[in-house]
Structure 1
Amino acid sequence: MKKKFRSIHLLLFFTFTAWLPVAGQNNLSLSGSATGSSEEVPGSASLAIDNDAESYWSSSPGDKRAWLLVRLPGATEVVGASINFSPDSEPNRQFVLQYLLNGEWRTFYREEENASRQVEISLDKPLIVDRVRLAAADQQAMQIGEFILIGQQYKDTSSAETPPILVNQSGYNLYRPKRFTAPGIKEGTRFEIVNTSTGSIEFSDTVKMEKGDFSSFNPLGTDSFQIRIGEKTSFAFRIGPNWLERITYRNMVDFMLEARHYVGNVSEIRPISFAWRDGDFFNWSMQSLVAMYLSNPHAYERMEVKGKYVPNESFAESYRGLWGELAPFKENTPDIIQLMHWDADVKVSQKLDHEMQKAELAHFLYAWPYLKKWLPQQNFDKVYQYAVSVWEKAAVSEHSLSQYDKSPEHNLLGLKTQLGTTKGEMPPGFSVIPNLMMYEVSKRENDPQAGKYFDAAYRQMDWMIQNLDWEDPMTTKGQRMSEHMTMRAFAFFYKEYPESSPAGLKAKVADWARIALSRSENMWDFRKYDQEEWTPPGWNETGNILGFPAAAFAAMSLLEDKELVDGLEILAWSHFENAFGRNPTGRHFSFKGPEEIEGVDLGWYSRHKGGIGLLEEVTFVFDGSPKSFHYPNYPEAGDVGWTEGWVQFNTAFNISMAYLANYYTQLECSQDESGNLLIRLEAPLNFYPDQKEQAEVWLSNNAGKSIPVILNEISPFSLSLERRIEKQDSEIRTEAHLLSLEDNDRLKINYGYGFFEKSIVIPVK
């Protein structure tokens, strides 16, 4: 009896809207490469695709799970297969054909009672893949003379829109790395940057490795530009101060508001969802929100408030108790603070005790000194009491779980040696920052056992230094949208406790940087999965591209080797560029990008409607990204692979934007002979040249009293804001605030909070 799984999965996996076949059907295997689960010398896997029936691949006799994999150059339409078993062997009675989807091998053909040496297979519908695996299902060894995949080149007509020169469609940040990719352009070809308003050439250089660099081009104005190479042109783009922040900050917050569970733009109760729809237990939302706020508080405090408190009692009985344990926030609380309140409220109200859910509460508690002007003390007390009560709890409640749980146990003081899968559910070092934050919180609360949290973080960091192998992509890009958790743990530990860090920490970070750079020498400046694979095999890796800059900026904050720092800076920005169109598809990752994001011309091919998250109408959804089919440059693959937005993708971007802000924020202060101050801040706050934008820093004396100081932008296109302050006798006045000074007093000026605080201390003249 034969069971054939031919077509149902195609409805889930591929979109067949506009493909053009190339005439004729071919032996696709001839253009591919082959690998086997094992091999018996001299039966190498390549012999099974050499078009010679006399040669064959042979698995090892003891190989009970033998398989032969054929990988094609790119997305290809497979309509059938031919399997020729070696004439000297017994053909396998049971075998399957499989393709890779979301990191798992899915069976599309199964043979249960084969007795033939030659098996011909015809599929009911074409299968668009870049690799197919033939696997024994009878625990017997395999000998394959020829494994022929039959089909033709695949081409999606929507790929015709792909521009010949790939850029960040929206624009580039002033004084930051700026690059483009020009596939097929010869080395040394001249490129020009043309002002679209005047038609004048304002910059030129030459193409190298099919890409161009115009980082030194920093015009001060509002004009747009295009890259031109002969008759080929790119989309138009802008260059401005803090351009990326300008076009994303409000969108980032709006996404988080709308994607909330129960009270967002959809009120349904959804599966695998807690505070966020389709958020599961590893969405990292709280820490992304906290990092955003601590890195650039004034940017989020000045935003229009759109959210409001939604009482649990205003919903039906089936919603009772899903939130509401925390007292409401004050009126006019910034949206980003409302979102932190929401996340903590749901976790405490539902008593979520998965180790990653309770670990997120540490970020809320750590940030409390900067949140309490909007939130009642009851919020801290409730969250702290709950977090302490479950922190060392090894068991987990059934309602806190999903099918993606990989945790052996849930005591956050325990050593975590389990490596997660490419789902992204258990990245190395996820407990380090939460334990270090709980250490600080417990010290504030005068807990005599505070040291246990630091000790747990130290043990975990020391284990990672000794045991993580960066050459294994499962420790890096293989963690998909959660990879940033690991490198951020390294940076947090060293930056906050440089004298108490485990030996070898900085050297381990440098090793990570060297390996990342070694995998990025290509036309896209794109960090590959390993030296052969571009993306994690079979996965929609959108969140990894969006989260990689956070890992890069975190590493850069520790590195002393300028070459490594410069290389990682280019990679951080190239991954932002990738998300905004500098990729083989030429598309922004958001389907609604052209209508939601200033300057975006071409959005993602499609969006997923429905799904667990019901995210299709949410603002600023990252729907998809290029798959392995598209690299190194195969836009003809078009809309293949899985497309669906996910909260985890957006929170990865949130984290990257926080680390971007922190990395470039600088604070300076000088004083003249009279003790008058000149304070200057460079931070992502000056967005619009037609608006006079401001910043708020804090000025403190030795006694601990603080007053706000308002800084003004230096010019419409400046990155910096400044303020001159006069000292009068023994006091400083700003607007309605007065700061008294003592003899030999010292002034502290700071912007940002917590581990992202930038501060300087100067003696008073």
Structure 2
Amino acid sequence: MNSTVDNWNNYYKYILVALAVTGLMTPGHGQENNLSRTGTASSSTAIAGYEADRVADGKENTLWKSGDDDRNPWVIVRLPGATEIVRIGVRSVDAGRVVTDFSLQFMHNGKWHDVRKISGNTEKDLKVDLDKPVLSDRIRFIASAAGPIALAELELFGQAYVDSSAMVVKKILVNQSGYNLNHIKRFSAPDLSGQVGFQILELPDGREVYQGEIQNGVGDFSDFDPESEKEYVIEARGHRSFPFRIGPNWLERVTYRNMVDFMAGARHYLGTTDQIRPLSWAWRDGDFFNWAQQSLVSLYLSNPAAFDRMERTLQYVPNEDFPEDYRRKWGALEPYAPDAPDIVKLIHWDADVKISQELDHEMQKAELAYFLYAWPYLKQWLPRQNFDRVYAYLKEKWSKNDVEEHSTTKYDLSPGHDLLALKTKLGTTKGELPPGHSVIPNLMMYEVAKSQGEDDAEKYFQAAYDQLDWMIKNLDWEDPITTKGQRMSEHITMRAFAYFFHEYPGRAPDRIRDKVEKWARVAISRSDNFWDFRKYSPEDWTPPSWNETGNVLGFPAAVFSAMGILENGPLCKRLEVLAWAHLENAFGRNPTGRHFSYRGTKEIEGVDLGWYSTHKGGIGLLEKVRFVFDGSPKSFHYPNHPEVGNLGWTEGWVQFNTAFNLSMAYLANYNSNISLNREGDELTIALKAPLNFDYGKEELLELELKNKSGGKLKVVLREASPYSDTLVGKVKVHGKKLVADDGELQFSEGDTVTVSYGLGFMKNEAELRLD
């Protein structure tokens, strides 16, 4: 779900029971440890010889002293991993120098929160028993008055952060399912230091098929591209990885159907449960910032043939079939055609709920712009009433600044809901208010308004321009709250840059490329580690106190967006490594050695070890939904602490899956390419796109070749070979005619023909002049 403060009480109960069952905790303080001695310390200031680390050395005769001019003296003890702290000890230097007034704090959501405020203290050796355990990896002592002050020890009592249920993790950590042929393929071996040779063995006979070298805990075999359905393992110094496969579009093969099935199962009212849930509209526990509509539209536009050919599993369910409590929850939009692809039915569902319930939060209104923009590609399955109803609603509500109570939740930080207004407030690590969330929706409304002949269409463009211009001038990429601190919503920002850059190259604000390059350099500077993992900050691996699963899954969408702006060069090469590394991270290349999905072994081809646990219940009731991303390594698992085990919050959330949807959409778009070439009397169309999922079956695709006057010729493309990611079609030139299969297309001297794949802003197009 969302790792909010509301979850902590239940989490404490859960972990206490777990510790009691495993024998790690018994009543009283008999098994407590002073964990400070395993930690590190930092302070606001320190006098030479009295540094911060003296408060964590277990010695009463060594001191930390703040500087004479320190107006806000504090010291922090940070543990190797988060654990449950039940008591805090504050040892002053002597009875004559007791610190009387101070606060003890822990960090949550990037902010310090009081555990206890102490005033009038007279004890040299103070023990503070906490009302309930605090799950944290750091505690701060902060004086209530200016310094200087001195402290002998800051002791943290609780349980060691080792989880006895943690399994031995393999020394070689790979993408357990498999790797995409002809793309980056890396693995991590953090315990194998220095330069270590490795071999790839083909199963089942163990024949060596590749040799390479592990350098500083990372191995690369990107140039190993076997055309085979065999399984492989990596071996080094007697250690072996889990088996994996290598194939064209392997990641797409094992996720596309799963992505659609998750969204179908996570629907509110109609998914795996019909219960009415709080914080939910179209999607259970979706809140107002789930990005579902834009994720589904982007996914479909990026690779339409893959979704068009999927089996239809969803049917329209009338609202009238449900009790009175469900009335008007959906049904304002007329039903889709029965033969619509499942993904189109889900796009319709999201829009229908928003319109039926008249949701007017700025995020919900903005999502509907994607529906209108995609209309030309959806209308073959949807009644015209759908467009008219949504468009009329948005024209009325787009600039409405207030929000109806039924459309918002306690997590709403929006100062106003007028989507034409400049948005300068940034959200928290909750992910509810990412920079630039109004840019793409305004540009889409601009296109829709122009198509409808509106005189005021320019207002949408101007709002988007002003917003992006503000972002270029004001966003500080060094501040994590502008990037990874937005958690699963970070992709919104970089996608806004990319959309404006590509769709309006002559009208985009200046310095887009320079701003994106700076973003890339910051991301790369924080990714030099065993995992090619972009850290939250130079000090922290992940956002403090959060389940950041969606950020790992959504980061590739931001990376591929940036790469499309920066084009080629060293930055892009490294960025591409990071994008694939984060996808690999979700598939087991991480310190826990586990896939993010608890049921990954049953639901995802090739996965050997799923996440530790799944959350049962919760607002979303997602445990029965297919392809839930349940959890991910926390900051205390990094850089390589598998012994931490299943510590930290675990719960799936719709927002995590929609972030993955967007990464897969931008991956498809970035790696798709179409070309059109002539040799003599033959034209060749070559399309590279993620469409070959069954290596034993020839995949076909029909595209249209168009001339300037609007004439069309259907051309069938076939796989170049069983393991190819490219489909090829041939067109014969006979005089002034193009001939393919059973059709022909007339052309004139100097005429231009075009062919494309992908739709809207995800379209790839090729053009050829016929001389």
Q: Please report the TM-score for the alignment, with normalisation by the length of structure 2.
A: 0.93
Matched-pair contact (CA < 8 Å) for 1:549–1:576? yes
Q: How does 1:434-583 map to 2 (within 5 A)?
A: 434-560=441-567, 562-583=569-590
Q: What is the rounded CA distance, in whole Å, between the counterparts of 1:234 and 1:671 in structure 2?
A: 47
Could you tell me how far apart the structure 1 residues matched to 2:114 and 2:39 are?
20
2:3 is matched with none
Give the corresponding residue for 1:687. Answer: 693
Match of 1:610 among 600, 617, 623: 617
The answer to whether the aligner puts 1:595 opposite 2:597 as a matched pair is no
Moved more, 333-342 or 95-104: 95-104
In the other structure, the counterpart of 1:350 is 357
Q: Name the counterpart of 1:431.
A: 438
Per-residue deviation, 1:9: 5.5
Deviations 1:398-449 (CA, angstroms, capped at 9, x unpaired): 1111111111111111111101100111111111111111111111111111
| Structure-1 residue corresponding to 2:767 | 761
Aligned partners of 1:364 and 1:613: how far apart in 2?
A: 24
Deviations 1:545-588 (A, max 9, x none): 00010111110011145100000000000000100000000000
Assess, with a 3 A threshold, how the Cα gap between structure 1 residues 87 and 9 changes in structure 2: closer, same or farther.
farther
Distance 1:561 1:758, change over 3 A: closer
Write out aligned runs for 1:619-638 (5 A).
619-638=626-645
Instruction: Tell me the CA shift for residue 730 of structure 1.
Output: 4.6
2:314 aligned counterpart, secondary structure: coil
Say which of 235, 246, 251 aligns to 2:242: 235
Q: Is the Cα contact below 8 Å between 2:440 and 2:496 reproduced in 1?
A: yes
Return the letter of the residue paired with 1:331.
Answer: P
| Pairing 1:46-125 to 2, within 5 Å after superposition | 46-50=53-57, 51-53=59-61, 55-58=63-66, 68-76=75-83, 78=85, 80-87=87-94, 91=98, 97-101=104-108, 103=110, 114-121=121-128
Amino acid corresponding to residue 264 of structure 2 in structure 1: L
* CA shift in 2, pair 1:20/1:224, >3 Å: farther
C-alpha separation in 1, matches of 2:461 and 2:146? 49
Check if 1:210 corresponds to 2:217. Answer: yes
Q: What is the Cα deviation at residue 198 of structure 1?
A: 2.4
Matched, 1:748 2:750: no
Residue identity in the other structure for 2:726? S
In structure 2, which of residues 289, 293, 310 is the aligned counterpart of residue 286 of structure 1?
293
Within the candidate set 672, 697, 702, 1:696 is matched to 702
Residues 657 and 387 of structure 1: CA distance in aligned 2, closer, same or farther (over 3 Å): same
1:646 partner amino acid: W
Match of 2:678?
671
Question: What is the distance in 1 between the residues matched to 2:131 and 2:82?
Answer: 19
Aligned to 1:3: none
User: How does 1:86-485 map onto structure 2 within 5 Å?
Assistant: 86-87=93-94, 91=98, 97-101=104-108, 103=110, 114-121=121-128, 129-134=136-141, 144-151=151-158, 153-485=160-492
**Contact residue 92 and residue 140 of structure 1 kept, 8 A:** no
Aligned match of 1:725: 731
Gaps of 5+ in 2: 1-7
Distance 2:90 2:478 in 1: 35
- Report deviation, 1:133: 3.1
Structure 2 CA distance for partners of 1:604 and 1:563, relative to 1, 3 Å:
same
Deviations 1:592-629 (A, max 9, x none): 00000000000000011111100011000000000011
Q: Whole-Å Cα distance in 2 between the matches of residues 7 and 115 of structure 1?
A: 32
Say what the alpha-carbon RMSD is for the aligned residues.
2.7
The change in CA–CA distance for 1:313 and 1:43 in structure 2 (over 3 A counts) is farther
2:95/2:124 contact within 8 Å kept: no
Does residue 10 in structure 1 map to residue 17 in structure 2?
A: no
User: How far off its partner does 1:144 sit?
Assistant: 3.2
Distance 1:424 1:161 in 2: 34
Moved more, 725-734 or 688-697: 725-734
* Alpha-carbon shift at residue 140 of structure 1 (Å): 11
| CA 60–152 in structure 1, closer or farther in 2 if over 3 Å, else same | farther
- Distance change >3 Å, CA 519–CA 255, structure 1 → 2: same
Higher deviation after alignment, 754-763 or 51-60:
51-60
Match 1:648 to one of 650, 655, 674: 655
Q: CA deviation at 1:673?
A: 2.9
CA distance in 2, matches of 1:642, 1:39: 35
C-alpha contact 1:358 1:391 (8 A) present in aligned 2: yes
Shift of the 331–126 alpha-carbon distance from structure 1 to 2, 3 Å rule, reads closer
Question: In structure 2, the residue corresponding to 1:557 is in which secondary structure?
Answer: helix
For the Cα contact (< 8 Å) 1:697–1:750, is it kept in 2? yes
Deviates more, 1:66-75 or 1:560-569: 66-75
3-state secondary structure, aligned to 1:300:
helix
Secondary structure of 2:195's counterpart equals coil
**Shift of the alpha carbon at 1:99?**
3.9
Distance 2:237 2:721 in 1: 37
Following superposition, the deviation at residue 80 of structure 1 comes to 3.5
Q: Distance in 2 between matches of 1:321 and 1:240?
A: 47
**Alpha-carbon separation, structure 1, partners of 2:405 and 2:572:** 45
Q: Is the 8 A contact 1:97 1:135 kept in 2?
A: yes
1:376 Cα offset (Å)? 1.0
Contact 1:102 1:540 in 2 (8 A): no
Larger mean CA deviation between 502-511 and 153-162 belongs to: 153-162
Using the aligned pairs only, state the percent identity: 53
Rounded to whole Å, the distance in 1 between the matches of 2:126 and 2:95 is 16
How much has 1:485 moved relative to structure 2? 0.6
Which blocks of at least 5 consecutive residues in structure 1 are unaligned?
Answer: 1-5
Deviation at 1:72, TM superposition (A): 1.1
Q: Does the 8 A contact of 1:128 with 1:154 survive in 2?
A: no
Letter in 2 for 1:533: D
Q: CA deviation at 1:13?
A: 5.9
Cα deviation, residue 11, structure 1? 1.6
Separation in 1 of the partners of 2:155 and 2:317? 60
Deviation (angstroms), 1:7: 8.4
One-letter code aligned to 2:466: R
Give, in angstroms, the shift of residue 310 of structure 1: 1.3
Decide whether aligned partners of structure 1 residues 625 and 350 sit closer, same or farther in structure 2, where only a CA change above 3 A counts: same
Q: 2:179–2:185: 8 Å Cα contact kept in structure 1?
A: yes
Once residues 596 and 186 of structure 1 are traced to their aligned partners in structure 2, the CA distance between those partners, rounded to angstroms, is 34
The CA deviation at 1:322 is 1.1
Further displaced range: 521-530 or 557-566: 557-566
Aligned-partner SS, 1:342:
helix
Q: Do the aligned residues in 1 keep the contact of 2:336 with 2:381 (CA within 8 Å)? A: yes
Q: Per the alignment, do residues 280 and 7 of structure 1 end up closer, same or farther by CA in structure 2, a change over 3 Å counting?
A: closer
TM-score under structure 1 length normalisation:
0.93
Q: Which amino acid aligns with 1:711?
A: L
What per-residue deviation string (whole Å, max 9, x for no partner) do you get for residues 497-533 of structure 1?
A: 1121111110111111111111001111100011111
Q: Are the structure 2 counterparts of residues 81 and 498 from structure 1 closer, same or farther at C-alpha, using a change threshold of 3 Å?
A: same
1-structure distance, mates of 2:269, 2:145: 48
